[in-house]
Structure 1
């Protein structure tokens, strides 16, 4: 039995074709939500460059015209960017990494909030990262972007505190997606050594937390950053 009830909810999921996005889609669909995925992949319900202001605003118009309302926004789109020391990090890579992780979150929140305000209801869940709390060496842009996602979440939650819209974020450590396959055995061992539980997280574990945060049961939590790091996070 699926304890989370999202029946009658329309959910927008960015990055819905990635490893975590697929798991979130499956979990929210199983909970009864109508899920609309935005991604650049062909499998997306709507192919949208979420780092583009024009593309996001146009896609939101299409979504509302078709579904009439938006109850849930999950900002799951993201890239890690290059793994480089800062002196070799190009400005183009810096800007692209911030655009995909941070600017997309801003643009999608900005597009979604008016519809949620109108109905005085909604849930926004942003995907941050343990890198946004601790900082990952050789990943300055990604760490900065995810730290800013946490700050954006807290600020927007306060901005919407006079409504029934709740805004939270999730900060995972390494999750067992295709990203792990790109790591060398040495890098993987180093990453896992930081996690007291001694393993990566699973996409379905991320999806389970996001499903609750997107539900009506999450009524008194807003502006929070929920740890999903197997004990790695210290605050």
Structure 2
């Protein structure tokens, strides 16, 4: 896919991986819509300004991806202000930190929230933009999954299950949308040094890294490289690219 003049919508685009991908796309001449929730409004505006500084159009759009009406409104706003969406990056995600053996520690609210954001949200966003992609004859959807969806690991059972579901959603969408030249793929990072780890000490981070085959966390730049490859390429769909330091090979 040639990116010059295309329009990308990035959920969870204010910080971390979503921000990095937004900047990458902008450098390729892509206009960018950054989805955010109220808690990160300032970060979203800062990222929007940074993206716009690269010479493309950029907007920040508030929406809860678990609410179908808000998602449809967001898609319409992006189309009206930037143009029809060509690229969707589903980077919005949440988790809870509960050890796997502690089944009683997972509340129904925890389960519902994690599944709603990580799985339902990705589906609702795809559903909202696919009509635009079909009309234009091509599109790209990238879901940000996790190595926890490939092998039982991560911060909690709800998180691992949600990311496994996201990987299956990716395959289902890829099969459904292949006749329309809409390619759907996922990336599966393991540990990344992003804001999710902001409350963890450096010592603890280093201990976590020692559990990885490569003994180091992935950089957001590494994962963004994988996303950009799958956006630009024309022959890969239904694939999940593990950028996880080797975690999922076991």
* Structure 2 CA distance for aligned equivalents of residues 29 and 138 of structure 1: 32
Aligned match of 1:141 in 149, 158, 165?
A: 158
Aligned match of 1:220 in 213, 235, 239?
A: 235
Which residue matches 1:210?
227
Question: Shift of residue 182 of structure 1?
Answer: 2.4
Question: Shift of residue 51 of structure 1?
Answer: 1.2
* Structure 1 CA distance for aligned equivalents of residues 204 and 156 of structure 2: 13
Unaligned runs of 5+ in 1: none
Which residue matches 2:35?
38
Question: Shift of residue 18 of structure 1?
Answer: 2.3
Contact 1:71 1:116 in 2 (8 A): yes
Pair 1:18 & 2:15 matched = yes
Pair 1:179 & 2:178 matched = no
Which residue matches 2:211?
194
Secondary structure of the corresponding residue to residue 169 of structure 1: strand
CA RMSD of aligned residues (A): 1.8
* Structure 2 CA distance for aligned equivalents of residues 28 and 211 of structure 1: 8
Contact 2:31 2:82 in 1 (8 A): no
Contact 1:13 1:74 in 2 (8 A): yes
* Structure 2 CA distance for aligned equivalents of residues 79 and 138 of structure 1: 10
* Structure 2 CA distance for aligned equivalents of residues 178 and 124 of structure 1: 24
Secondary structure of the corresponding residue to residue 248 of structure 2: coil
Which residue matches 2:66?
51
Question: Shift of residue 90 of structure 1?
Answer: 0.5
- 1:126-184 Cα shifts (integer Å, max 9, x gaps): 00000001122650111010000000000110111212110000000100112223235
Pair 1:70 & 2:67 matched = no
Q: After TM superposition, list the pairs within 5 Å mapping 1:149-188 onto structure 2.
A: 149-183=166-200, 188=205
Structure 1 residues 46, 137: CA separation in 2 closer, same or farther (over 3 Å shift)? closer
TM-score (norm 1): 0.92
* Structure 2 CA distance for aligned equivalents of residues 138 and 27 of structure 1: 29
Structure 1 residues 82, 195: CA separation in 2 closer, same or farther (over 3 Å shift)? closer
Unaligned runs of 5+ in 2: 45-59
Secondary structure of the corresponding residue to residue 192 of structure 2: coil
* Structure 1 CA distance for aligned equivalents of residues 66 and 137 of structure 2: 27
TM-score (norm 2): 0.86
